[in-house]
């Protein structure tokens, strides 16, 4: 039986039995050399492991920081509306709900900064400069005035336009299906809507003969082009339409007072951030001078105007979050086609109609999405 045979055991009780091996001196010497070599090898491997471990530990804070940056994205929202405007609150609520539904929770994985400028062009330029300097992951831009300032300021930061009017005509993009560059978004109205506003106003006021299209040419220069296009097209109505440029509350009041002296006249308050900003003065003057008013904004009718017809602004803001989401996940804005409105609203204020001595037909009221009584 070999000295190292596992079967060779001392007379130790079975529970404490262990293997006993007897080595020769030569064997012990060889074992010692191997042990020394193994120890050196283990020492080298251990030193290499510690070196690698040290490098990994040093890199850990950087990796963690990068992961946190990936999780917390930054979005800037520039609005051509005042912060306290009810219309602002409606649109931003829709935006926040859209972001939430797509998994973007403010303060958890996305930081959203909101800036409000109304129709103040100087403040718009200031906000644009601040946002471009901060370089967020995505900019959501509302209104033509904001885009006119923002477009030349950056060609690198992705921009999602909410409620763009005539984005090609204004030079924001060159193609609706393939915008290219860093800009995409959602359009608001087209030139054809001018004729629809006139027809709707004429339905409620059959003796209508003249309509004023009121807007500020500094904030919405495209309406002059829209009106020329309308006047050049085959006429479906005998109603005359003219542009009324306003840049102050005083000019608004003067223009509406003039319309009030013409009983067969009406007013279109155009889709314009200036018009939205001064709508209190517009509504007061049209009520005082008994001028029927139509606009694209539901908020006008809620606050006392006759009719509103236009795209659902809150719906556009909510839909804009789908593009914010796709860009944050790596898609290029230039590959995302500009989308048109899909939801339009017709709202009629029946109380205002009666105050103006107007009686909308039942068939007309049935077309309305909402009738305020």
- Residue 364: pLDDT band with limits 50, 70, 90: very high
| 236 in the same domain as 178 | no
Q: Is 184 in the same domain as 322?
A: yes
Q: How far apart are CA 291 and CA 11, in angstroms?
A: 119
Same-domain check for residues 241 and 353: yes
CA–CA separation, 343 and 316 (whole Å):
9
304 & 201 share domain: yes
CATH value at residue 207:
3.40.50.2300
pLDDT at 2: 41
- Residue 38, in any domain of the structure: no
Q: Are residues 162 and 129 in the same domain?
A: yes
Q: How far apart are CA 105 and CA 93, in angstroms?
A: 13
Task: Give percent above pLDDT 70 in the chain.
Answer: 81
Question: Which structure tokens are listed for 268?
Answer: 């279109």
Question: Are 162 and 144 a contacting pair, CB within 8 Å?
Answer: no
State the DSSP H helix or E strand holding residue 112, giving kind and residue range, or none if neither: strand 110-116
Indicate whether 245 and 348 sit together in one domain: yes
Looking at the structure, do residues 247 and 115 belong to the same domain, yes or no? no
Structural domain of 240: 193-312+344-372
User: Does residue 293 form part of some domain?
Assistant: yes
Measured torsion, CA atoms of residues 82, 371, 281, 343, in degrees rounded to the nearest 10 = 40
In a domain? residue 12: no
Count of domains forming the chain:
2
Question: Hey, what are 337's tokens?
Answer: 């086609």
Phi, psi of 325 (to 5 degrees): -60, -45
pLDDT above 90 covers a percentage of the chain that reads 73
114 and 139 Cβ atoms separated by less than 8 Å: no
326 shares a domain with 271: no
Beta strands 344-349 and 307-311: pairing type?
antiparallel
Q: Is the pLDDT of residue 166 over 60?
A: yes
Q: Give domain status of residue 41, yes or no.
A: no
State the pLDDT confidence band at 141, using cuts at 50, 70 and 90.
very high
341: Cβ contacts below 8 Å, ≥ 6 apart: 186, 187, 188, 189, 311, 312, 315, 316
Is residue 157 a part of any domain in this protein?
Answer: yes
6 part of a folded domain: no
**pLDDT tier at 69, thresholds 50, 70, 90:** very low
Residues 216 and 178 in one domain: no
Which of 78, 67, 77 has its CA nearest to residue 112?
77
Residues 40-55 as b or e (16 or more Cβ within 10 Å = b): eeeeeeeeeeeeeeee
Q: How far apart are CA 94 and CA 278, in angstroms?
A: 23
Residue 316's alpha-carbon distances to 16, 146, 164, 333, in angstroms, are 82, 17, 10, 17
Of the listed ranges 31-40, 151-160, 304-313, the least confidently predicted one is: 31-40
Residue 23: inside a domain, yes or no?
A: no
Mean pLDDT of 27-46: 45
CA-wise closest residue to 365 among 232, 355, 351:
351
Rounded distance between C-alpha atoms, residue 89 and residue 366, angstroms: 29
Cα gap 373→364, rounded to integer Å: 15
pLDDT digits (tens, 9 = 90+) for 74-108: 999 999 999 999 999 999 999 999 999 999 999 99
- Residue 14, in any domain of the structure: no
Q: At what angle do helices 222-232 and 193-204 cross, to 10 degrees?
A: 70
**Same domain (yes/no): 365, 233:** yes
Taking the model in full, what pTM does it have? 0.78
């Amino acid at each position: 039986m070999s000295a190292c045979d596992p079967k060779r055991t001392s007379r130790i009780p079975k529970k404490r039995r262990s293997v006993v091996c007897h080595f020769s001196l030569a064997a012990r010497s060889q074992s010692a050399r191997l042990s020394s070599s193994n120890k050196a090898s283990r020492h080298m491997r251990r030193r290499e492991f510690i070196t690698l471990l040290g490098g990994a530990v040093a890199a850990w804070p950087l990796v963690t920081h990068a992961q946190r940056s990936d999780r917390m994205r930054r979005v800037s929202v520039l609005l051509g509306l005042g912060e306290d405007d009810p219309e602002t609150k409606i649109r931003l609520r829709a935006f926040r709900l859209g972001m939430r539904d797509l998994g973007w929770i403010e303060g958890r994985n996305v930081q959203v900064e909101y800036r409000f400028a109304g129709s103040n062009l100087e403040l718009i330029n200031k906000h644009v400069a601040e946002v471009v300097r901060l370089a967020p992951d995505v900019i959501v831009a509302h209104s033509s005035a904001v885009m006119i300032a923002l477009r030349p300021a950056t060609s690198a930061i992705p921009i999602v336009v909410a409620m763009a009017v005539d984005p090609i005509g204004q030079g924001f993009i060159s193609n609706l299906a393939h915008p290219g560059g860093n800009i995409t978004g959602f359009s608001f109205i087209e030139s054809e809507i001018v004729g629809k506003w006139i027809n709707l106003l004429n339905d409620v006021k059959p003796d209508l003969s003249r309509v004023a299209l009121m807007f500020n040419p500094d904030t919405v220069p495209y309406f002059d082009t829209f009106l020329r296009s309308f006047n050049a097209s085959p006429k479906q109505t005998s109603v005359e339409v003219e542009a009324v440029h306003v840049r102050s509350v005083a000019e608004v009041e003067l223009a509406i007072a003039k319309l009030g002296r013409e009983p067969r006249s009406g007013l279109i308050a155009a889709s314009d951030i200036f018009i939205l900003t001064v709508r209190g003065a517009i509504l007061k003057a049209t009520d005082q001078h008994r001028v029927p008013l139509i606009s694209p904004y539901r908020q006008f009718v809620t606050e006392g105007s006759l009719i509103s017809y236009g795209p659902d602004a809150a719906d556009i803001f909510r839909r804009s979050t789908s593009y914010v989401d796709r860009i944050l996940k790596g898609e290029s804005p230039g590959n995302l086609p500009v989308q048109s409105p899909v939801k339009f609203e017709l709202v009629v204020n029946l109380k205002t109609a009666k105050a103006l001595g107007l009686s909308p037909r039942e068939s007309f009221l049935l077309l309305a999405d909402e009738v305020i009584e």
